[in-house]
Amino acid sequence: MVKEISIKLTKDGDEYCFLLGENLQEGIAGFGDTILKALDNFEERWGNDMESKHRISHIEDYLIDVVDGL
């Protein structure tokens, strides 16, 4: 069984937030004043193991495509 990972990107004021999970208390979140800084912060919080880095690279590619499409 495959579980889909759903990471939300939001902006509150001047700060971006990537959130994996239902809320900030239970999920993993990364913050920054740019999308890439928020993604870097999210990656730090997710962990630095190779499996996480592999997943993050796919997420980063997807997000770059989304942002380019705006």
Q: What is the DSSP string of 33-51?
A: SSHHHHHHHHHHHH--SHH
Spatial strand order of the sheet with 15-20 comes to 7-12, 15-20, 28-32
Question: In whole numbers, what is the pLDDT of the chain averaged over residues?
Answer: 79
pTM of the model: 0.62
**Residues ≥6 apart with Cβ < 8 Å to 45:** 28, 29, 30
Cβ contacts of 27 within 8 Å, gap of 6 or more:
19, 20, 21
Using one digit for the tens of pLDDT, what is the confidence trace for 17-45?
A: 999 888 888 888 999 999 999 999 998 88
Whether 7 has a pLDDT exceeding 50, the answer reads: yes
Domain regions of the chain by residue span: 7-68
The better pLDDT of the pair 55, 18 is held by 18
In terms of pLDDT, which residue wins out, 67 or 43?
43
